[in-house]
Structure 1
Amino acid sequence: MSDAPLFDDIAKGPPGGRAFWRMASDGVRVRLAHWPRPDGSPRRGTVLLFPGRTEYIEKYGLIAAELAERGFDTLTIDWRGQGLADRPDNERALGHVDHFDEYQLDLAQMMALATELDLPRPFTMLAHSMGGCIGLRALHNGLEVAGACFSAPMWGIILSKPVRPLAWGFSWALHRSPWKLALSPGTARQTYVLAEPFDDNMLTTNAQMWDMMRDQAKAHPELTLGGPTAGWLFAALTEMRELASMAAPNVPAVTWLGTNERIVEPAPIHALMARWPNGRLEILQGFQHEVIMEAPEVRSRVYTSIEDLAQGRKTTSAA
């Protein structure tokens, strides 16, 4: 375990944050960060924060600060292929894995670090988008958490009409070829928040959070990421199909989904939460993909659900 950079200038996390390098079992280096709760605050455990695709540790500094006020430590990660973690593409613009099992190797380092730092229990998962796909697999693999809070989990991907019929065939044909690092159709190398205007963006309705993400991308472009590779797309489609065929894990769960979701498919979320016996689906009218990058009152509702999970309060299905 060695210290890694943590860009406090853009993260605005709680005091005492620290980042670490860890080497996964296959030799890929990932970055992790721990933000502690303030001394004297309630001891409610640790939130294991699983970011989405294209994301990086510093994006969640404000979230960690708000969780710290409620008595939670936060441990989060740069998954391989994004943030400051190792990337296979020399231009560092594209996110890639050959198989989603690789993310579980990163998660193993996250859990090992939690043990080494002796972080307070219980552990509660907060998983956004692609992190929700990784987190769901982790629950099936026996990850020990008091509960799971999902934000627009990637259990299906919305593909444009021209791309949809080609996605499986295109990605399958390239995923084992020298062109597996080719950019997926309909995506770009530039990070989304710098390529698109706030008006009609697909992430958030909150202009302040949008500006924060843009400012971070401008200040530290080395953290940003463009579109996925063909290999990543095939790996994601394969993983989501496998997960959809499995029963819901026996773990309390709350899933948050905006009615204006345009990135992940809502139907698989509704389907899984409908059969999750100790789960609840919360629908947010008028909100978009980045539920925890929305207004403070929306974030507060998510944090309250994390408190409920950590304290073992009953969760019933409302799907």
Structure 2
Amino acid sequence: MDSILYATADNPIPENHFAGFLEGRGGVKIRYAVFRSKEREAKGTVVLLQGRSECIEKYFETIEDLTARGLWVATFDWRGQAGSGRLIDGSRAGHVARFADYEADLSLFLEKIVLPDARLPFFLVAHSTGALVALSQAPELENRIERMVLTAPFIALGGQSMSQSKIAVIARLASLAGFGKRTFRKGEPSFDFARNVVSSDTRRFARNAAIYAEHPALSIGWPSARWLNETLGAMRRVTHQDHLTRIRIPTLLLCPTADVLVPRKAVGDLARIFRAARLIEIDGARHELFQEADRYRAQALAAIDAFIPGSDAEETSLGA
């Protein structure tokens, strides 16, 4: 067993990697890993950003897919989850004090690990909350990142019993009243396939459930009020026209049309006012495209192949 990364029976650790811990903002430890391609000439490095509650291990299959294409992959766990430092003693709540802390950790990872130790050019592939961080940080990443792929970007909150605006008010009031570390839901998130809304693939869902069952320290519970307040605030900011006009990194938006967590309409609305972006919808897919059934997942990988220069497909332009 790797001393930093963890394998399960059907989820082996990709070979040819190095891993460690980086000191993030405020001294929080950030677990990272860099996976090298077996190809003699690297075609660049994908900086892979996870969603909320995910871990590096959940992306081993996708990492293998990308390194087989001649790309290196550099990735890390967000603060407060998986193998990175937790932020509330004695609590499993998914928490962050400030959304800017996520951005600071990404910048530090790029500066301390990716720039000196990975291979140019650099691309960014980000899912859900990771895509929200990428959108927020994108105006400052122009000189580092060549292209971005954002899957199911967490720019709106769907699948809830009350409206996003009401949740935002409650989360803000709870944070102001000193209850920011509390969660709104009891119990633990379910790993029951029949109740899940993120993937239609039984094998990948079971594989991911086994990761957390065998290594429970990698899992977290429901998001805290503070996490919701900070994240909803970031959503409002990054979807504003003024922010989007500052992003000049060519961007591909991948929207799974059966996603109940991020409304399809919200991603479509974003694409219409985001001049640097093009939108591809993957019909019938659920939220976690990289954990979906082959017929959906293959479409996501093919779109990445066609968009990221250096992969097998010819380079395409946004104007094509």
Does TM, scored on the shorter chain, surpass 0.5? yes
Whole-angstrom distance in 1 between the partners of 2:215 and 2:290: 21
Question: Contact 2:257–2:284 at 8 Å: present in 1 too?
Answer: yes
Would the alpha carbon gap of residues 191 and 109 (structure 1) be closer, same or farther in structure 2, given more than 3 Å must change? Answer: farther
Whole-angstrom distance in 1 between the partners of 2:269 and 2:319: 12
1:71-82 alignment, distance < 5 Å: 71-82=70-81
Specify the SS of the correspondent of 1:76. strand
Question: Contact 1:154–1:264 at 8 Å: present in 2 too?
Answer: yes
Deviation at 1:36, TM superposition (A): 1.0
Question: Contact 1:129–1:151 at 8 Å: present in 2 too?
Answer: yes
Whole-angstrom distance in 2 between the partners of 1:278 and 1:213: 34
Would the alpha carbon gap of residues 108 and 238 (structure 1) be closer, same or farther in structure 2, given more than 3 Å must change? Answer: same
Specify the code of the residue in structure 2 equivalent to 1:156. Answer: A
Deviation at 1:288, TM superposition (A): 0.3
Deviation at 1:167, TM superposition (A): 1.1
Question: Contact 1:254–1:315 at 8 Å: present in 2 too?
Answer: no
The answer on 1:247 being equivalent to 2:244 is: yes
User: Paired residue for 1:190, among 172, 188, 191?
Assistant: 188
> What's the counterpart of residue 7 of structure 1?
6
Would the alpha carbon gap of residues 200 and 280 (structure 1) be closer, same or farther in structure 2, given more than 3 Å must change? Answer: farther
> What's the counterpart of residue 168 of structure 1?
168
The answer on 1:282 being equivalent to 2:280 is: yes
User: Paired residue for 1:298, among 296, 299, 318?
Assistant: 296
> What's the counterpart of residue 127 of structure 1?
126
102-111 or 8-17: which moved more? Answer: 8-17
Specify the SS of the correspondent of 1:199. helix
> What's the counterpart of residue 65 of structure 1?
64
The answer on 1:267 being equivalent to 2:265 is: yes
Would the alpha carbon gap of residues 260 and 95 (structure 1) be closer, same or farther in structure 2, given more than 3 Å must change? Answer: same
Specify the code of the residue in structure 2 equivalent to 1:247. Answer: L
221-230 or 241-250: which moved more? Answer: 241-250
TM-score between the two structures when normalised by the length of structure 2? 0.89
1:21-100 alignment, distance < 5 Å: 21-40=21-40, 43-100=42-99
Specify the code of the residue in structure 2 equivalent to 1:298. Answer: Y
Specify the SS of the correspondent of 2:26. coil
Q: Gapped runs of 5+ residues in structure 2?
A: none
> What's the counterpart of residue 104 of structure 1?
103
1:189-228 alignment, distance < 5 Å: 189-192=187-190, 194=191, 197-228=192-223
Whole-angstrom distance in 2 between the partners of 1:73 and 1:161: 41
Specify the code of the residue in structure 2 equivalent to 1:45. Answer: G
Question: Contact 1:48–1:124 at 8 Å: present in 2 too?
Answer: yes
The two structures, once aligned, show a CA RMSD in angstroms of: 2.2
> What's the counterpart of residue 316 of structure 1?
318
Whole-angstrom distance in 1 between the partners of 2:319 and 2:92: 40
Whole-angstrom distance in 2 between the partners of 1:171 and 1:71: 44
Would the alpha carbon gap of residues 308 and 164 (structure 1) be closer, same or farther in structure 2, given more than 3 Å must change? Answer: closer
> What's the counterpart of residue 20 of structure 2?
20
Deviation at 1:200, TM superposition (A): 4.8
1:223-234 alignment, distance < 5 Å: 223-234=218-229
Question: Contact 2:54–2:81 at 8 Å: present in 1 too?
Answer: yes
Instruction: Report the number of matched residues.
Output: 309
The answer on 1:149 being equivalent to 2:149 is: yes
Question: Contact 2:171–2:226 at 8 Å: present in 1 too?
Answer: yes
Question: Contact 2:159–2:260 at 8 Å: present in 1 too?
Answer: no
Deviation at 1:189, TM superposition (A): 4.5
200-209 or 225-234: which moved more? Answer: 200-209
Deviation at 1:208, TM superposition (A): 0.9
CA offsets, 1:259-294, max 9 Å, x none? 211112323311121233342211111110001111
Would the alpha carbon gap of residues 72 and 82 (structure 1) be closer, same or farther in structure 2, given more than 3 Å must change? Answer: same
TM-score between the two structures when normalised by the length of structure 1? 0.89
